[in-house]
């Protein structure tokens, strides 16, 4: 019971700190530590995100590359989170592992649907198919 309470408080603290990071223009080492905890705790959402992303592009076979990339990105997020915690947030945005991979700093900032004019998502507006599709 005590472990759950501590873990819940830690998750809440990370979420509040990450929300503050997104509003501030200045960077502090505490922001990097918050980024590390956030990526460790929420990195697993990369699997359903990648599955959704590739299933829209390739409806039948999109789940397989989505699962593979999602598992890989989950490992990258975990490694990046540990790196941020070990360096105590010393790596500022622009010099992080995520910048080297051209990935967003947090998993929820990555796109869930492909962007572009030729994809299925741009053709569907609610439940009605657009005229130009």
What residues does each domain of the chain span? 2-129
Encoded tokens for 70: 């999602």
The pLDDT > 70 percentage for the chain reads 70
Model confidence pLDDT, tens digit, residues 80-97: 889 888 988 788 787 788
Identify the residue with better confidence: 3 or 85.
85
d(CA 48, CA 67): 8
- Cα atoms in the 13 Å half-sphere on the side-chain side of 55: 11
8 A C-beta contact, residue 108 and residue 42: yes
| Full-model pTM | 0.64
Encoded tokens for 125: 């507006």
d(CA 84, CA 111): 23
Q: Above 70 in pLDDT, residue 50?
A: yes
């Amino acid at each position: 019971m005590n472990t759950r309470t501590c873990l819940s408080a830690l998750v809440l603290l990370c979420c509040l700190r990450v929300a503050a990071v997104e509003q501030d223009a200045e960077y502090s080492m505490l922001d990097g530590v918050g980024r590390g905890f956030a990526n460790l705790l929420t990195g697993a959402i990369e699997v359903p995100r990648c599955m959704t992303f590739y299933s829209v592009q390739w409806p039948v076979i999109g789940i397989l590359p989505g699962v593979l990339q999602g598992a890989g990105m989950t490992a990258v997020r975990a490694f990046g989170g540990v790196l941020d915690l070990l360096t105590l947030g010393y790596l500022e945005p622009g010099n992080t592992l995520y910048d080297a991979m051209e990935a967003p700093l947090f998993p929820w900032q990555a796109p869930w649907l492909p962007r572009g004019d030729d994809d299925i998502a741009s053709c569907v507006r609610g439940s009605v198919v657009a005229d130009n599709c």
